[in-house]
Chain A
Amino acid sequence: MAGDIGTVPAPPPQELRGGLRSRLSGDSWLAVVVPPVITTMVVLLIWEYLSQSGTVDEIILPAPTAIVDAMGQLVGESFFWEATWVTTQEAVIGFAAGVLVAWVLGTLIGLFQGFSLAVYPPVIAFQIMPRVALAPVFLTWFGFGITSKIVMAATICFFPVLVNTILGIQGVSKDARALMRSLGASRWEEYRKVLLPASLPAIFASLKVAVALALIGAIVAEFLGASEGMGVLLREFSFQLQIAESFAVLVALSLLGLVLYGLAALLESRLIFWRGR
Chain B
Amino acid sequence: MGDVTQPSAMPARHEGARDAANGGTGSAADNSIFVADLDKTYDTRDGTVDAVRSATFDVKDGEFVSLVGPSGCGKSTILQICAGLVAPTRGKVDVGGVQARPGRREVGIMFQAPVLLPWRTVSDNVLLPTEIFKMEKKPARKRALELLELVGLSGFEDKHPWELSGGMQQRASLARVLVADPNILLMDEPFSALDEFTRERLNLELAKIHESFGRTVLYVTHNIEEAVFLSDRVVVMKPHPGEILEIVETGLPRPRKLEVLQEAGTLELVIKIRQMLFGHHGGPEEEA
Contact = CB atoms under 8 A, between A and B. Distances in A.
A189 interface: yes
Interface in A46-64: none
B103 A182 contact: yes
B83 A193 contact: no
Contacts of B115: 173, 175-176, 178-179
A183 B132 contact: yes
Contacts of B117: 176, 193-194, 197-198
Nearest to A197: B119
Contacts of A131: none
Interface in A159-205: 173, 175-176, 178-185, 189, 193-194, 197-198
Given A176-B117, A197-B117, A274 B102 contact: no
B213 interface: no
Counting contact residues on chain B (CB < 8 A from A), the size range is: 20 to 34
B132 A178 contact: no
Contacts, number: 54
A180 to B, nearest CB: 8
Nearest to A272: B119
B118 interface: yes
B133 A183 contact: yes
B128 interface: yes
Interface string B97-118: 0000011100001010101011
Contact of A185 (B85, B132, B160): B132
Contacts of A179: 109, 111, 115, 128
B103 A274 contact: no
B102 A183 contact: yes
B111 A183 contact: no
Nearest to A176: B115
Contacts of B118: 274, 277
Nearest to A185: B132
A183 B129 contact: yes
A203 to B, nearest CB: 13
Nearest to A183: B132
B166 interface: no
Contacts of A181: 85, 102-103
A161 to B, nearest CB: 20
Contacts of B102: 181-184
7 contacts: A175-B115, A179-B109, A184-B102, A185-B103, A189-B131, A193-B128, A194-B117
Interface of A: 173, 175-176, 178-185, 189, 193-194, 197-198, 273-274, 277
Closest 10 CB pairs between A and B? A184-B103, A274-B118, A277-B162, A277-B118, A183-B132, A175-B115, A182-B109, A274-B119, A197-B119, A185-B132
Interface of B: 83-85, 102-104, 109, 111, 113, 115, 117-119, 128-129, 131-133, 160-162
